[in-house]
A and B are shown apart, each in its own frame.
Chain A
Amino acid sequence: MNWLAPFCAIVAREGLRFVHQRERFVSALVRPLVWLLVFAAGFRAALGLSITPPYQTYITYETYIVPGLCGMVLLFNGMQSSLSLVYDREMGSMRLLLTAPVPRWWLLLSKLVGSTLISITQVYAFLGIAALFGIDVDPLGYVAVFPALFVAGLMLGALGLALSSFIKQLENFAGVMNFVIFPMFFLSSALYPLWKMAESSELLHDICAANPFTHAVELIRFALYAELNLPALGWIVLALVVFGGLALWGYDPARGMARKRG
């Protein structure tokens, strides 16, 4: 049995689905741009940033939050694809996928890679618009950030996949937004550096430091300056293994995605 054909088909289907949902692309771009062009502009005066790696000089707040907003695109897209999985399950198309004569982990991995590649397309579109507003990095940074986005996207997508296996109904998705996306985003280094957080609360700092999303943001931040943040990469790989394992467990037929049916 050829495993490549199902892989390509699933990735291509993710792409087609994305093309059919243009409003999803627009909203994925508008969200970080609002943060960048409105929130950051107002916030820059309130927050003084000192020089910390990978920055070599003083930077504007807009420059600081770009990696966090790249992470935001990945995070929202990871959750969006988890929403689509719950939708697929309710609508029945998940049955078709799961009854294909291919190992389940391969099907889920294909789905994950497909949605991650879509996320990365969105991130590059965001970075392109940010560059038009003068918030850019070295050309090498745009290349170096690709693997960082890929591994971070896989990790956040795996989280979405794991969540989708436990969310029984579409209606429960709002809960995921409240309890996963917002805490992950705000309790991270996306909007403010960790040392700044430590000034207000050690506990919050520790939570932020343990948050895998912080490490996704830091990996992206360093990669944009063509540097590798090895500890962040380690954390992300660890989180990927944990979330991926949870997703596999969640989609194990012995646990049964259809158990609620009579």
Chain B
Amino acid sequence: MSLKVSNLSFSYGNKHALDRVTFELSPGFTALLGPNGAGKSTLYALLTRLITTTGAQISVAGHDLQTAPRAALGAMGVVFQQPTLDLDLTVSQNLRYFMALHGLHGRTARDRMDAALTRLDMAERAHEKVRKLNGGHRRRTELARALLHNPQVLLLDEPTVGLDAASREAITAHVHALAAGGMTVLWSTHLTDEVRPEDQLLILHRGALLAQGTAADITQGRPLKDHFLSVTGAEV
């Protein structure tokens, strides 16, 4: 299993954010669907070790996040919900900075950067300052960056927030293609139209997993939006 989470609980004071969450992901696209406040961002903060907790086990590409954090973090690419680009640097400076943080430099770094930017149609913007890019291009840059170190697991926390329909569609399609190529993808969203029937689906509500399986199996032929509304009572 590429990403294994067992018995993950977390509280902010008295408020339970996650309650004994357990799941295993294999290569492919898994959508984590949950309304706002379901605990998705807390789960991502725990998966990326921004925060830790006791009594749980998280394993990334066979590396335990608790006992071998560096190997586990090195095997994952992350696109956070919040933008994490330095606006005053160019696209290529941002990517080079990230690669250096992952110990990559020199020719290898240059080759990977060129390949990543070409793959996402960003090559001609390499020397533009991020501040000048629109939201869609910024997100693409972040996605290109998350792939630079060839991670086995890609975590995206609501990556399409604030994007127009075309950019949203382009990014969703690209990440589905990456998953089809053998990458393990965990894509969190509260938008049901980003999930395809063949995708693996986790529904998170009030910190607990309500369902896991393929989207088609879970919905049993009903539109996902209706199913999601009925189990969470949330506005989609």
Interface set of A (CB-CB < 8 Å, partner B): 1-3, 5-6, 8-10, 13, 16-17, 20, 91-93, 95-103, 253-254, 256-262
Contact = CB atoms under 8 A, between A and B. Distances in A.
A9 B52 contact: no
Nearest to B71: A101
B127 interface: no
Nearest to B41: A261
A101 B97 CA distance: 13
Given A261-B41, A261-B45, A262-B12, 17 more contacts: A3-B103, A5-B101, A5-B103, A13-B86, A16-B89, A20-B88, A91-B83, A95-B50, A96-B84, A97-B101, A99-B48, A99-B73, A102-B103, A256-B50, A256-B51, A258-B51, A262-B37
Interface of B: 12, 15, 17, 37, 39, 41-42, 45, 48-52, 69-71, 73-74, 78, 80, 82-86, 88-89, 93, 96-98, 100-105
A101 B102 contact: yes
Contacts of A261: 41-42, 45
A257 B84 CA distance: 16
Contacts of A99: 48-50, 73, 78
Nearest to B54: A254
A260 B74 CA distance: 26
A101 B48 contact: no
A96 B49 CA distance: 11
A95 B39 CA distance: 18
A8 B15 CA distance: 41
A240 to B, nearest CB: 25
A96 B48 CA distance: 10
Contacts of B45: 256, 258, 261
A95 B84 CA distance: 7
A8 B70 contact: no
Contact of B82 (A2, A3, A91, A100): A91
A9 B97 contact: yes
B131 to A, nearest CB: 11
B68 to A, nearest CB: 10
A95 B82 contact: yes
8 contacts: A2-B105, A5-B105, A6-B101, A9-B97, A10-B101, A92-B82, A102-B70, A262-B12
A262 B70 contact: no
Given A1-B74, A93-B84, A93-B85, A253 B52 contact: yes
Given A101-B70, A101-B71, A257 B51 contact: yes
The 7 closest A-B pairs by CB, nearest first: A9-B100, A92-B82, A256-B51, A101-B74, A100-B101, A2-B103, A101-B70
B98 A96 contact: yes
Nearest to A13: B97
Contacts of B71: 101
A259 B100 CA distance: 28
Contacts of B93: 16
A92 B84 contact: yes
Contacts of A97: 101
